[in-house]
Amino acid sequence: MPLSLAPKTADTAAVVPRKMRVLIVDDSKLQRRILTASLQRWGYQTVEAGSAEEALEKCAEGMPDLVLSDWMMPGMNGLDFCQAFRKLPRESYGYFILLTSKSEKEAVAKGLDCGADDFLTKPVNAPELRARLNAGERILQMERELTQKNTLIGQTLNKLQRLYNDIERDLIEARKLQQSLMREKTRDFDGATVSLLLRSSGHVGGDLVGFFPINETKMGVYAIDVSGHGISSALLTARLAGHLSSTVPEQNVALTKDKNGNFVPLPPTEVIAKLNRMVLTEMETEHYFTMMLVELDMETGHVSLAQAGHPYPIVLRRDGRCSEIGIGGMPVGLLENARFEQCELTLEPGDRLIIQSDGITECTDSKGKMLEMNDLHRMLGAVRKLEGTQFLDALVQRLSEFAGTDRFEDDVSAVLLEYRGG
């Protein structure tokens, strides 16, 4: 059937802003020329092919943006060419319009199944052809915009991944540095043994535990839990570790010198009050922290402790009895004139003092039920025949069984003070 095009109008003669490449496939040279003339007048780049086989060769030379293909051709017909065209590798989508005299629904459905995007019935009407090409251009433009956005997203994700990898490496190193703040996990003194536990819920955390010798008969232990998690909390713990140094007593705010030049301890409440002033006046931070500071006389077993919002410590007596001690108190770094109180107790040989963070006391099971103090007492009783770090490791194992996981939501830390007597 002959192909005819209506005379151009002002609308059909409009030039598209971007010249798209159109492949025209028809065994009639005259009909190809008629289509080519109109398309070039509208601003398209055109490529002609007299058969489907030749069209595939043209595609190998350069992929078209749109295809106008006759359905009925000798050899490979338009449907076969459409299927072959869809199998060609390409970076972007190609819009395919079939030219046909067929108008039956079954024929249209078959063409769509073969990969065609649109149909034009012969003889082709110029305004309709222009409208179909415009529709194809809009789809291609949207596809290209989406591709560009996906490319941009992919590039952004790659940058973010590189940043994440850099941060991951830094956090691994930060974790090593934070663990190094706990120089020793356990140490034997003449009358007592101190063991430490520190497990961050993430790479780094806000918990800190440690100890420092005072003199031949006295020692200090502490536990700190900075608000929040992550890098900023860890940085504050690092600074606090320097103020409670076990290797440089001159930097330890818990120590002072007597008239003979010997280091002696300050009362725990005075130390915490000093830290409170430092946080509020010298440290530019939004964080606060809970704290437990203990002074032990290893000759007598006498303990002085100050509690600043930290969970109540537990005394595990030699016979297995458990009891909480302490008076609560206000966290450090909240109120300028906060007052901290001190309590005293005496440990007998074989007794233990356990200072734990709220990562232990507020641990929850899979149903969200919080650990009760009786449960913690039972855990301590179950592991009390163990000593030192084995005691703490076994306690964490029991805690993991309760939580149903060994990845805790909060930092888990503890100090175990085992008194043998002077």
pLDDT, one tens digit per residue, over 179-206 is: 666 678 899 998 999 999 998 877 667 8
State how far the Cα of 311 lies from the Cα of 360, in Å rounded to an integer.
Answer: 9
Domain residues of the chain, as ranges? 21-149, 182-419
In sequence order, the β-bridge partners of residue 356 are 414
Closest C-alpha among 344, 345, 306 to residue 328: 306
- Count Cβ neighbours within 10 Å for each residue of 302-324 and write b for 16 or more, e otherwise: ebbbbbbbbbbbbbbeeeeebee
Average pLDDT of span 144-152 = 89
User: Mean pLDDT across the chain, nearest whole number?
Assistant: 88
Closest C-alpha among 194, 203, 206, 198 to residue 233: 206
State how far the Cα of 397 lies from the Cα of 408, in Å rounded to an integer.
Answer: 12
CA distance to 85, 145, 297, 365, per residue, from 221 (Å)? 77, 63, 12, 30
* Residue 269 pLDDT: 95
* 313 pLDDT higher than 80: yes
Average pLDDT of span 365-379 = 92
Closest C-alpha among 189, 193, 192, 213 to residue 262: 213
Q: Which residue has the tokens 């956090």?
A: 171
Q: Which stretches within 91-186 are classed as H helix?
A: 105-113, 126-181
Which CATH code, of 3.20.20.140, 3.40.50.2300, 3.50.50.60, 3.90.1150.110, is assigned to 21-149? 3.40.50.2300
* Residue 180 pLDDT: 67
Burial of 115 (0-12, 13-18, 19+ CB in 10 A): middle
State how far the Cα of 39 lies from the Cα of 200, in Å rounded to an integer.
Answer: 69
CATH number of this structure's domain 182-419: 3.60.40.10
Note if the pTM is more than 0.85.
Answer: no
Question: Binning pLDDT at 50, 70 and 90, where does residue 15 land?
Answer: very low
The angle, 0 to 180 degrees and rounded to 10, between the axes of the packed helices 231-243 and 268-281 is 130
